[in-house]
Amino acid sequence: MVVFTVSSTYTIFPFLEVIVMTKRVKKCGAFPDYMLSEFLRSPSGGISLSPASVDVTLSDEIYRLARYTLPRSGEKVREMLPLFGATKHSLSMQFELGVSYLIPLKEKIRLPKGVYGWANPKSSTGRTDFHVQLISDGSSRFDGIPDGFQGETFCIVTPNSFAGIFSYGESLSQVRVFNQDTRFSQQELEKEWEKNPLFLRMDGTPIAFDELVVSDNDGSVLMTIDIPKSGLIGYKARLTRNIFDFSRRDYRIEDWFEPIYGDGTGILELEPGRFYILYTKQQICVPDHLAAEMSPMSARNGEFRSHYAGFFDPGFCGTITLEVRSPISFALRDDQPVGEVRFERVLAIPKKPYGLAGHNYQGQIGPKMSKHFLEP
């Protein structure tokens, strides 16, 4: 069993008393909700927590970028502003289509040694095609927050389908914190599957482990796409000059997306560069002691991106909304593999698993739009 060593310098993190009975801790994985607030400091004092992640929010300092790249080890992001061709921008101005913007986060992230983080875009950004990445001082990985991090973290926002307007304190990304990589091996996946129905059919009946037709045998589960021969398949983003206000909750779907219906073939041809909202044929059901993540793309599945916001909190259950874009003409057929899901452990069961507090996407079936839209 993996051991996480804690020194006396961590007394500034009082939550560790919950899990640290001695100086050697044997629980490993992602930190749950009630432990996460100790890693962030916000000038407003409020922190928005999910079962195994914490929201990070935009400050009012914004730079329009001509280009961007990752910092090297020891390099601060602010030192790279000349390289980025950064010019001052304002929240009162629109974020232009196809242009990237750099925004420092309001929150200060402070991690002790032996603790690191990863970020994921929120579902609301992925489903509206705003590409969101985090970069951190000294981290040469997008969305990565290094072990023992004490620097500054920034959000990069790139509107892909719609120009946008954002507000101070808007949350576009969420951070997860770990003390160990606990993603399942193939053997661990099979053992967990025997105890809990991790995937369901559309009618709610469990899918058995031995029913997996295609597998990479690496602890991941291949999700397949649902393209019915009739009825609603999903949505395609319209080509529009309208500006998407991220604070609104009353948009009509048809003003921003066009519906796609089955034509009797069970095939959908992706137009190069266009953005689609689709969904998986399976429901994923994440037990309260686990979390899950879906990889955004894999050359084994095809030259297309299937997901932007790929994190699933403990307690989530429903079909997976796919946020799809391909650089080439590519045909998707019903039940074709589109992405891999990996499960991982959390240190302790969250106080509020997903769904208990009325989360927007719990129980979703079919192509579910973001919270900005009225229900169809």
Which tens digit of pLDDT belongs to each residue from 115-161? 999 999 999 999 999 999 999 999 999 999 999 999 999 999 999 99
Q: What is the pLDDT of residue 162?
A: 97
- Does residue 9 surpass a pLDDT of 80? no
**pLDDT level of residue 87 (50, 70, 90 thresholds):** very high
How far, rounded to the nearest angstrom, does the alpha carbon of residue 22 sit from its chain's CA centroid? 34
Q: What is the pLDDT of residue 357?
A: 61
Q: What is the pLDDT of residue 37?
A: 86
Cβ–Cβ < 8 Å for 288, 29: no
CA dist 206 and 236 (Å) reads 31
Q: What is the pLDDT of residue 285?
A: 96
CA dist 293 and 329 (Å) reads 27
Statement: the pTM of the whole predicted model exceeds 0.75: yes
Class of domain 186-345: mainly beta
- Could you confirm whether 323 is annotated as catalytic? yes
Q: What is the largest CA-CA distance in the chain?
A: 65
Q: CATH 2.70.40.10 in the chain, residues?
A: 29-178, 186-345
Cβ–Cβ < 8 Å for 317, 362: yes
**pLDDT level of residue 211 (50, 70, 90 thresholds):** confident
Query: What are the tens digits of pLDDT across the range 19-78?
Result: 332 234 458 999 999 999 889 888 776 788 999 999 999 999 999 999 999 999 999 999
Residue of 14 and 260 predicted with greater confidence: 260
Strand 24-25 to 40-41 pairing: unpaired
Catalytic residue among 38, 170, 323, 340, which?
Answer: 323
CA dist 317 and 280 (Å) reads 13
Cβ–Cβ < 8 Å for 24, 5: yes
CATH code for the part of the protein at 29-178 = 2.70.40.10
- Does residue 11 surpass a pLDDT of 70? no
- Does residue 13 surpass a pLDDT of 50? no
Of 269-278, 285-294, 361-370, which range is least confident? 361-370
Of 28-42, 295-309, 357-371, which range is least confident? 295-309
